[in-house]
Amino acid sequence: MPSLTKNRNICVIAAVAMFAITADFAPAFAQTDSRTTTVGGRERPELDALGVKRGGFTVFPSVEVSETYEDNIFNDQTGTIDDFITTVTPAVRVLSNWSTHSLRFNGSGDIVRYATNDKEDNEKYKLSTDGRLDIQRDTSVSGLIGYEKSVEDRGSVDDANGLTPTEYDVISLDAGFRNKWNRVSLDSRGTLRRRDFDDVATTAGVTNNDDRDRDEYKLDVRGEYEILPEYNAFAQVILTSIDYDSAVDDAGVNRDNEGYEIRGGARIDISGLLFGDVFVGYISRDYEAASLNSVDEFSAGVDLTWNATALTTVKGGVKRGVSETTLVSSSGNLSTAVNASVDHELLRNLILTGRLGVSRDEFKGTNREDEYIRAGVRAKYMLNRYVYLTLDYDYATRESNAANSDYDTNKVLFKIRGQL
C-alpha cells in the first residue's frame, strides 16, 4: 500500500504553496458566459437586488423567514413525529466592483426553531471570503477561507440518535491556479477541510465524537485541450488524504486513508444550448487498517445543462464517489447518484421548478445498501426587487437492507425573502 505520509505531504505542500500566493485574494470565480445563462441564473434588471454601493464594493443584505411542515422530523421507520419549523436566515454578500481581480465576502445564519420538539432547535452559520487575482489575461490565482457551523442530518447513517442534533464545525482553506495557452488550459486547486464534531448526549449516555475529528486534504489538477470551439477534451487527477485526530476510532480501527481518482472526458458547449461535462474514470482508496477493505471502482460523471427554450432549462447529472462513514466494519460509502431538474419561466417574475433524484449508497466491507428517491417542486414568485416568495414541496424515501432503517418524509415550505 502506498505511503500515507508521502501522499499527504504532497497535498499539504501544494495547498500551502498555492495558498501562500493567494492569501490576500481569495477565489472569485470566472465571469459568467452569457451564452450559457440559464433560466435560474438569468439577469432580471427590473427584479434583481441593486445592493448598496460602498466605494469599490456593493453590499447585498437580505433576510428570509420560512415556515416548514415536516411529517417525519427524525426520519424514523415507525412512530413518526411531525412538527412545524420556523427558520430565520439573515445574510450579507459583499462583491467588489473592480475591472480586474475580484473579492467577495459571504455571511449567513440559520436560526431554526421547532414548534413542539424544542430539543431540535439549532443555529447554523457560514462565513467565507474568496477572491481572484488576475496576473495576466489568461492567468489567475485564487483562494478561499471559510467557516461553517452546522448540525448533522437526522437521516444520516452516521447520526448518533442524540437527544439533540450533533453539531459540527468545518474550517476550509482553498487555493487555485488557472492558466491558458492557446488551446491548452490548466486548472489546479488545493483544499484543506478541518472537521470537528461535538459530543452528544443519548439515552445510553454521552457519545464521544472525538474519533470523527479529522483533516481532509485534496489536490485537484485538470488539463483541457480545445479540439473544436464546442468541444474540449480533458484529463483530471484528484489526490485525497484523510488524517484523523485519534489513532483509532471507538471500535479500535485506524481510519486514516489516502486515495486518488483519474478522469478522462469532454466539456461541451453547443451554442450555449447544451453545455457541461461528461467523463469516465477510476477511484481508488486505501486504508491504514488492514481490517478495512480498499475501494477500487470505476467512476463516471455527467453534468449537463440544456436550454431547451428561452423559457425552459433542463439539468441532468450523474455522480459517483467515496465518502467517510462511522459505520462499524465499513471502510467508506460508495455513492452513485442520478439527478434531474427543470426550471420554467412561466412569467417574467414566476419560475417553476421540478426535481428528481435517485441514489444508492454501498457501505464497503459490509452488506448494507441504501437506496434513496428524492423529488420536489417549487414556485418562486418575485413580487418586486425587494420581496420574493417561495412555495416548496419535497418528498424523500430510503429503502435499506439494514433493519429499521427505511423511512419516508414529506416537507412543505413557505418562504418570504426581503433584500436590498
Strands (E), 229-349: 231-244, 257-270, 274-287, 295-309, 312-323, 333-347
Grid coordinates representing 335 are 455513492
Mean pLDDT over 351-356 rounds to 98
pLDDT tops 80 at residue 181: yes
Residue type, 293: N
Of 22-36, 232-246, 358-372, the one with minimum mean pLDDT is 22-36
CATH number, domain with residue 255:
2.40.160
Residue type, 266: A
Q: What is the Cα–Cα distance from 387 to 400, expressed in whole angstroms?
A: 42
The pLDDT, as a whole number, for residue 195 is 97
Mean pLDDT over 200-224 rounds to 96
pLDDT tops 70 at residue 183: yes
CB atoms near residue 31 (< 10 Å): 8
Mean pLDDT over 11-37 rounds to 42
**Distant-in-sequence, close-in-space partners of 45: CB < 8 Å, separation ≥ 6:** none
State how far the alpha carbon of 116 is from the alpha carbons of 52, 84, 162, 210, 363, in Å: 39, 8, 17, 31, 35
Number of H helices, E strands in the chain: 1, 21
- What percent of the chain has pLDDT above 70? 91
Contact by Cβ (8 Å): 320, 336: yes
Grid coordinates representing 314 are 433542463
Q: What is the Cα–Cα distance from 90 to 160, expressed in whole angstroms?
A: 29
pLDDT tops 50 at residue 29: no
pLDDT tops 90 at residue 384: yes
Residue type, 196: D
Q: Which domain holds residue 197?
A: 4-419
Beta-bridge mates of residue 369: 362
Grid coordinates representing 174 are 482553498
State how far the alpha carbon of 328 is from the alpha carbons of 71, 100, 168, 284, in Å: 30, 51, 21, 20
Q: Average pLDDT over the chain, rounded to whole?
A: 91
The pLDDT, as a whole number, for residue 85 is 98
Provide the terminal-to-terminal Cα distance of the chain, rounded to the nearest Å.
55
The pLDDT, as a whole number, for residue 33 is 52
**Distant-in-sequence, close-in-space partners of 378: CB < 8 Å, separation ≥ 6:** 352, 353, 354, 355, 390, 391, 392, 393
The pLDDT, as a whole number, for residue 58 is 97
Per-residue confidence band for 35, with pLDDT thresholds at 50, 70 and 90? low
Per-residue confidence band for 36, with pLDDT thresholds at 50, 70 and 90? low
Grid coordinates representing 367 are 452488506
- What percent of the chain has pLDDT above 90? 86
Contact by Cβ (8 Å): 2, 284: no
Per-residue confidence band for 24, with pLDDT thresholds at 50, 70 and 90? very low
Mean pLDDT over 330-358 rounds to 97
pLDDT digits (tens, 9 = 90+) for 145-173: 999 999 999 989 998 989 999 999 999 99
The pLDDT, as a whole number, for residue 37 is 86
Mean pLDDT over 223-238 rounds to 96
Grid coordinates representing 144 are 478561499
pLDDT digits (tens, 9 = 90+) for 281-313: 999 999 999 999 999 999 999 999 999 999 999
Q: What is the Cα–Cα distance from 217 to 208, expressed in whole angstroms?
A: 24
Beta-bridge mates of residue 124: 110
Domain count, the chain: 1
Contact by Cβ (8 Å): 237, 264: no
The pLDDT, as a whole number, for residue 54 is 93
pLDDT tops 90 at residue 258: yes
pLDDT digits (tens, 9 = 90+) for 84-131: 999 999 999 999 999 999 999 999 999 999 999 999 999 999 999 999
How much is the pTM? 0.87
The pLDDT, as a whole number, for residue 34 is 53
The pLDDT, as a whole number, for residue 176 is 98
The pLDDT, as a whole number, for residue 272 is 86
